[in-house]
Homo-oligomer: A and B are copies of this chain.
Amino acid sequence: MGAAGTARQPRVGSRQQADLLALLRDEGATSRVALGERVGLPRAKLTAELGKLVDTGLVEVGGPAASRGGRRSNFVHLADDLRLLGVDVGATSITVAVTDGRCEVLAHLSEECAVREGPVAVLGRVTALAEQVLAQAPGRLIGAGIGLPGPVSFRDGMPVAPPIMPGWDRYPVRDELAGKWGCPVTVDNDVNVMALGERHAGVARSLDDLIFVKVGTGIGCGIVLGGRVYRGVAGTAGDIGHIRLDDFGPACVCGEVGCLEAYFGGAALAREGLTLARSGRSTLLAAVLEERGQLTAEDVGMAARSGDFAAASLVREGGRRLGHVVASLVSFLNPGMVVIGGGVSRLGHSLLAEVRGAVYRRSLPLATGNLPIVLSELGDLAGVTGAAWSATDRAFSTVT
């Protein structure tokens, strides 16, 4: 770490080298023969390109297992000391992880931190946590990725007009962190990196077309098509939280009314739970409120699981509304999988059951025939894993 600039970063000299690196990241140690077949390179050319990658220190031949016998010395793998930082900034918390070259999390730390405190405070916390995790798993930092809870210009590496992030609009997140860490940095929307995380290492592994629906404080959706994040013309693709369900619905944080997010999501659940507690319709939530003076979405979920009728109805109703929106998306896009993640996804089966019911009832049979609707597998680490993956996508490319 330090302000070393990006000049010392290893350079990827050709398309073939980039393909080899991506393959070694996605598949792990691979024999030379299999590598040549997979990237379609004749032997001499493969040897030359691998040689250049070994020179940069990105790739090693043989490795720990080689000494045990002649056979494994033909294996090629990413260098063991490669490190990537994956950062997931949520509305109210930060998670920072350090991974190896294959985006496997080696160490991670989380802390409460409100994104509304602004970029200076939040990025200060991010860099402090990054130093701590890198100390736990030291190595050669070759890239970092960060997900932010709002619209992001991926090209410019900064948030653009994010509704819940005062002070962040067009703040040069990428350039500031790249200067601090001396490596290339990618900045993306939090839901996009979660989708990438599940696709690289989670439940959607190897699927090319999927949607990842995050139900946290707010609601958003990451779209992966042909294995890449689809961002839309203005970078707002997947912003389903503010699809208006009713012109006369409840007020939303965005200033409009009747948004999906105003009906469901962490903030709405907490607010509705408060109403249930105060009106006495849920004695369980009333007791929690009495004891703690406030209610969270987790409390509502706990009450629902404990059999509280009013709380369970709230979850069912919200899941049904979310399901109606997801059903439209499924008919429209015919994805290969729907993954549900984010804090509220801890509601687990009861939420999934409502979403599945709505989708299977409302979408085309052809589109739902082979459509798994599943919970995020990586949970709290989906974002940091995807952010690290996004960083390798940059670090293992010929772009400099």
A interface residues, Cβ below 8 angstroms from B: 151, 160-161, 209, 221, 223, 225, 230-240, 242-244, 247, 325, 327-329, 331-336, 361-364, 366-367, 369-370
Contact = CB atoms under 8 A, between A and B. Distances in A.
A237 B327 contact: no
A158 to B, nearest CB: 15
Contact of A235 (B235, B334, B363): B334
Contacts of A335: 232-233
A334 B243 contact: no
A334 B240 CA distance: 11
A234 B330 CA distance: 11
B334 A234 contact: yes
B244 A327 contact: yes
Contacts of A236: 331, 334, 364, 366-367
A233 B367 CA distance: 8
A240 B332 contact: yes
Name A's interface SS: loop
A57 B370 CA distance: 46
A151 B231 contact: no
3 tightest A-B CB contacts, nearest first:
A232-B334, A244-B362, A237-B334
Given A328-B328, A332-B332, A366 B234 contact: yes
A242 B161 contact: no
A163 to B, nearest CB: 10
Contacts of A223: 332-333
A143 B223 CA distance: 35
Contacts of A332: 221, 223, 237-240, 243, 329, 332-333
A315 to B, nearest CB: 19
A362 B243 contact: yes
The interface centre, meaning the residue of A221, A232, A244, A331 with most chain B CB atoms within 10 A of its CB, is A331
Contacts of A209: 232-233
B239 A364 contact: yes
Given A233-B336, A244-B362, 7 more contacts: A233-B335, A234-B370, A236-B366, A239-B367, A240-B331, A243-B362, A247-B361
Nearest to A369: B234
A331 B243 contact: yes
Contacts of A221: 332
A171 to B, nearest CB: 17
Contact of A334 (B233, B327, B364): B233
A6 to B, nearest CB: 27
Nearest to A211: B332
A224 to B, nearest CB: 12
23 contacts: A151-B366, A209-B233, A221-B332, A223-B332, A225-B225, A233-B335, A233-B370, A234-B370, A235-B366, A236-B331, A237-B333, A238-B332, A239-B366, A240-B328, A240-B332, A242-B363, A242-B364, A243-B327, A243-B332, A243-B362, A243-B363, A247-B361, A329-B332
Contacts of A244: 327, 361-362
A236 B364 CA distance: 8
Contact of A161 (B160, B366, B370): B366
A363 B335 CA distance: 22
Q: Which of A160, A328, A361 has the most CB of B within 10 A?
A: A328
A298 to B, nearest CB: 28
Given A239-B331, A243-B362, A234 B367 contact: yes
A327 B332 CA distance: 12
B243 A328 contact: yes
A207 to B, nearest CB: 9
